[in-house]
Amino acid sequence: MAFILLSVFEELIKKHGLTILIIALLLSIIFYEGGLLNYIMMKIELAKIVKKTEVIEKENKILSQEIERLKKDENYLEEVVRTKYGLVREGEKLYRIER
């Protein structure tokens, strides 16, 4: 039985050897760990990471500008602490009106 399979395999290689070799080579190029499919998936992942990085850099720039404004503009700082945190000056009373 093994001899028959071996002879059939040899016959296939003789007839279609180059085709089988090319198909095997293409499959290994596409599906191998460092192959084309892996390369494409890594490029997609890289694009996602670059996009996230751009978003974070924009947010970071906005926050840095906000910090600088809070450091330099005392009126703005007071407005933020009054509205966002509900702080009042000494002697003032805060009245909250619920809707």
Ranges of each domain in the chain: 1-31, 37-87
CA–CA dist 69, 22 (Å, integer): 65
- 91: phi then psi, degrees, rounded to nearest 5: 90, -15
pLDDT, residue 5, reads: 60
Task: Write out pLDDT tens, residues 17-76.
Answer: 778 777 877 777 777 777 777 888 999 999 999 999 999 999 999 999 999 999 999 999
Count of other CB atoms within 10 angstroms of residue 21? 11
pLDDT at position 90 over 80: yes
Say if residue 52 is exposed, middle or buried (CB neighbours under 10 Å; 0-12, 13-18, 19+). exposed
Residue 34: count of CB within 10 angstroms of its CB: 9
